[in-house]
Homo-oligomer: A and B are copies of this chain.
Amino acid sequence: MKQERDTVSKRNVIQAAIQLFNTKGYNGTSVRDIANKAGVNVSLISYYFNGKKGLAEFLMTTFLEGYVNELEKVHKLLEKKSAKACLVEALQAIMTYQHQNRQLARFVHREITFDSVLVREIMTTYLSKEKFYLSKIFEAGFSRKEFRPQSIDYIVMQLRGMLSMPFLQPQYILEVHHIKPNETYFIERYTKQLLQWVDLYICGDLKVVKQKPFVMNG
């Protein structure tokens, strides 16, 4: 029952941790930083989350569970909708979810680039599911002749690079391209780009590509 209780302090800790992990990373953030930002006693972090590591794990799994949950929901639509419609919906769902959890997203995507047992576990638990659901969509697209045939693995990798980029490198977008990565407009515009990619790259080169390109928000 313990972890069900949701006090103000606990919420504050979570918020503070998200922000600090986001900008400074797990190793760059101290529990005292978090406690101070949360206006809370240091030892509470151990009390609530079983230490700094526990806190980070909690945040990562929370984020990733929501993430794969989005994919799962889309996956269920495969029976009713076209593969392309599902893929489009998947991309939109992922982008929206990540946008809503921007800070966590950056933290998780970055932390996943380390070599550690925790990361390995996350890989086999969550990212395998991600690959599974995406694969299902692509497989449907191939068998229904909606998608241009190609390697699922490589297309998923490429997609993953594109999907994580805006959340992993917001400062790059801001400093180099002078675009505000947190604004809804940016996400919509970037998503539109992805949908064009679906049109031209995933479905492209097929005679049947006669459906007019999908455009988010009209």
Contact = CB atoms under 8 A, between A and B. Distances in A.
**How many copies of the chain does the oligomer comprise?**
4
A55 interface: no
A150 B194 CA distance: 13
A200 interface: yes
Interface in A150-180: 150-151, 153-158, 160-166, 168-169, 171-173, 175-177, 179
A159 B131 CA distance: 21
A24 interface: yes
A127 interface: yes
Contacts of A189: 151, 154
Contacts of A131: 176-177
A171 B27 contact: no
B177 A24 contact: no
Contacts of A130: 176
B123 A168 contact: no
Contacts of A109: 113
Interface string A80-124: 000000000000000000000000001001101111000110011
Given A160-B172, A193-B154, A23 B165 contact: no
> Which residue, of A28, A131, A155, A177, has the highest number of chain B Cβ atoms within 10 A?
A177
